Structure 1
Amino acid sequence: MRVVICPDKFAGTLTAVEAAQAIAEGWRSVAPGDELVLRPVADGGPGFLEVLHTSLGGDLIEVPTTDPLGRVVTGSVLIVGDTAYLESAQATGLHHLAPGERDPKITTSAGLGALVAAATAQGAHKLIIGLGGSATNDGGAGFLAALGFKPLDREGNPLPPGGAVLRRAAALTLPTSAAPAPPAAITTILPARGVGGAAAGQRWVELVGASDVDNPLVGEQGATAVYGPQKGASAADVVLLDAALANWAAVLQRDLPGCPQDLAALKGAGAAGGLGAAVLALGGRIVSGIDLILTETGLGEAVAEAGVVITGEGSFDHQSLRGKVIAGVAGAARDHGVPCVVLAGRVTTGRREQGAAGITEAHSLVDHFGDVDLAMTAPARGLRELSARMAGQYSRR
């Protein structure tokens, strides 16, 4: 029997790779003759690069960059042929900050610029950026500034980092031919942007953002209202930051050639604190992170040939069924008539929701142990034990 094991990370406890290994160990303890296909998954957030490197191989290049508060950290760029894969959370991720440091009014996405510059320096013609897990809410302003697209106030002064100052954004400077090589290359990121032909030493670069959300930039379902509080935004901060992003979108629409005129309302513009808007403003596109993973890693074909699929994540809740890993995997399994089992740290969805999404059954570590603390401290053990139980139920030994 072929068993496809494709979990997401269990945030704060296990990476997707570690979770897949634990599930495999449990299954083998009961059904050692089954064929296990391990395909750990990510949907654009932390772990995106690790999952792709595990499946695709390629060259993983370390890159010095900065975190959301401007401190030096190390990120990576994965080069596979002429495509570069990047993970924005390596520079903008919430995991870089202690709880007391979380403040989306001042955090910046500038560090992503160093990763993009490194990717273009490697000769990549296509950049695929995982968007998710961010501590920022600056509409990608820091990222754009690092590429030479700097926001200015009414007096023509460059704005400092952060989302709050964007309420004072009044104009945008564009890179010139005298700009350093990486930013100059980004000025011609897509032919569709209509920013002239590539100058000497420049080339067209396709830009794709892979996201697990489709939120717009502003409004009740926007980046700030939905995700700002978990990044440290107070109720007053949410109002301020949402207005700041609306102003920022208007500046981009007016001053950046080729920027979509309905930028703030576009699906995915609110991904990663508005980094999605920056990708769209540069002429790029936003795609479903899990759909991209299914295609890039061949997971879709593996699911079609499986006898059963095992997936999971730390918390299986209503958001899991909106474009995240479990929804994508379960949908693929449903389309091919394959049973899909979810093993999660916690399960708060109902059976009717699960069935509609293509999920055969779901089990949680909290219920398995009967203890929340044990579910957090021994997740690998719990996954091994639950997986062994599933092997006894599904294997055709």
Structure 2
Amino acid sequence: MRILICPDKFAGTLSAPEVAAAVAAGWREAAPADQIVTRPLADGGPGFVEVLATAVAGRRIPVRTVDPLGRPADGEILVAGDGTAVTAYVESAQACGLHLLAPEERDPKTTTSYGLGVLVAAAVETGARRVVIGLGGSAVNDGGAGMLAALGAVPLDAAGRALPYGGAALVGVASLDGVPRLRDVTLVAATDVDNPLTGLHGASNVYGPQKGATREDVLLLDGALETFAAVLERDLPSCPPGLVGLPGGGAAGGLGAAILALGGRCESGIELVTRLIGLDAAFDEADLVITGEGSFDHQSLRGKVVAGVAGAARDRGLPCVVLAGRVSAGRRESAAAGVTESFSLVDHFGGEEHGGVERAMSRPAEGLRAIAARLAPQWSR
């Protein structure tokens, strides 16, 4: 058997490469003759740079930056290519990630994307001609105002004072001071979110509550982003018209809109990753595909990594097994999406009523290894 293992991260516990390694180890224990290929995946959110670094020949450069509350944080950029074809890959979640904050610290009225601007500036200084920014899993809702400030374009109020960080302060934004220092670098937002910046399906309404926003906060932030978008259209020559309604502008709390305003464009994060790691070629040589993520639910079947993998397997007539921390997706929905069967760490550890959730969170690699070892003899036959 030729086994292709291509999971997403298990948020809060394991990175995608760690998930793939655990599954591969368990499979080899029970079926050592099988051929195993691992291709960890990401869609632009947490783990974007780490996943690409497993497949793209390049340099990983550490960068000191700040988190959404301005505290010191460790980031890195991946630089690949040479000459005029150098590309730098940056992960917004390293500076803006929701996972960087404790639950009681989450407040999109005050969190900032300044740290992402530090990472982008470092990428520009490497001499890269293109900077690809993975968007996802953010704690911010500031429309990229902090990022712009770090790049040299500072949002000001009507009195000419620099605004405080955070999405709420944009209610009073009146102008931008300075020019973004990008040295003619092309920016690409890697995201699979097509939400606009504002409105019912915008950044504040859809994602704000996940970041700690109340209903009153959502209304405040949505209006603030609309005001900020008008300033960006007026003060940035590179900004396209109708910024508030452009697809992808609402990604990562409006970071997508800021990248569009800087003359950048949006690309599918999962398509970019699969192309760079050679996933299509791996599919063509596989007999069985194994994927997974932390929670396999109805949202998983609507554009996430698992849905993309299962659909690609189905189109090639390949069986696809999903391993997840928790499984709540319906069987019929899953089968229609291309999932042959799915297995849960929570169930493996005894179910919710017997402490399965706690053990799944504290011992995920052990559980994945055990499930894979149990499955291997069945599929190898």
Task: Quickly name the TM-score band, shorter chain normalised.
Answer: over 0.9
What is the CA distance between 1:331 and its match in structure 2? 2.0
Distance 2:6 2:168 in 1: 39
Cα RMSD for the two superposed structures: 1.4
Would you say how many aligned residue pairs link Structure 1 and Structure 2? Answer: 372
Tell me whether 310-319 or 91-100 shows the greater mean CA deviation: 91-100
The answer to whether residue 278 in structure 2 is matched with residue 295 in structure 1 is no
The answer to whether residue 354 in structure 2 is matched with residue 374 in structure 1 is no
What is the CA distance between 1:298 and its match in structure 2? 0.6
Paired residue for 1:244?
A: 224
Paired residue for 2:379?
A: 394
Distance 1:393 1:265 in 2: 50
Opposite residue 231 of structure 1, the aligned amino acid is: K
Paired residue for 2:140?
A: 136
Conservation of the 8 A alpha-carbon contact between 1:291 and 1:328: no
Three-state SS of the structure 2 residue aligned to 1:63 is strand
Distance 2:340 2:197 in 1: 35
Conservation of the 8 A alpha-carbon contact between 2:135 and 2:251: yes
Residue-by-residue CA offset, 1:140-159 (whole Å, 9 max, x unaligned)? 01101111222222223221
Three-state SS of the structure 2 residue aligned to 1:383 is helix
What is the CA distance between 1:212 and its match in structure 2? 3.4
What is the CA distance between 1:254 and its match in structure 2? 2.1
Task: From 113, 116, 119, give the equivalent of 1:112.
Answer: 116
Summarize the alignment of residues 173-322 of structure 1 with structure 2, pairs less than 5 Å apart. Answer: 173-175=177-179, 183-184=180-181, 186=182, 202=183, 204-322=184-302
Paired residue for 1:157?
A: 161
TM-score w.r.t. structure 1 length?
0.90
Conservation of the 8 A alpha-carbon contact between 1:290 and 1:323: no
Paired residue for 1:44?
A: 44
Distance 1:126 1:323 in 2: 26
What is the CA distance between 1:393 and its match in structure 2? 2.5
TM-score w.r.t. structure 2 length?
0.94
Moved over 3 A (4+): none
Three-state SS of the structure 2 residue aligned to 1:55 is coil
Task: From 98, 105, 128, give the equivalent of 1:101.
Answer: 105
Opposite residue 245 of structure 2, the aligned amino acid is: A
Conservation of the 8 A alpha-carbon contact between 1:331 and 1:357: yes
Conservation of the 8 A alpha-carbon contact between 2:158 and 2:174: yes
Distance 2:192 2:361 in 1: 24
Distance 1:206 1:352 in 2: 43
Paired residue for 1:346?
A: 326
Task: From 153, 156, 170, give the equivalent of 2:174.
Answer: 170
What is the CA distance between 1:80 and its match in structure 2? 0.9
Three-state SS of the structure 2 residue aligned to 1:283 is coil
Distance 2:130 2:312 in 1: 26
Distance 1:393 1:215 in 2: 42
Distance 1:284 1:338 in 2: 37
Q: Give me the identity figure in percent.
A: 65
Conservation of the 8 A alpha-carbon contact between 1:304 and 1:333: no
Q: Which runs of 5+ in 1 are unaligned?
A: 176-182, 187-201
Distance 1:124 1:18 in 2: 29
Residue-by-residue CA offset, 1:8-35 (whole Å, 9 max, x unaligned)? 1111111111111110011111211111
Distance 1:39 1:300 in 2: 11
Summarize the alignment of residues 80-99 of structure 1 with structure 2, pairs less than 5 Å apart. Answer: 80-81=80-81, 82-99=86-103
What is the CA distance between 1:124 and its match in structure 2? 0.6
Opposite residue 7 of structure 1, the aligned amino acid is: P
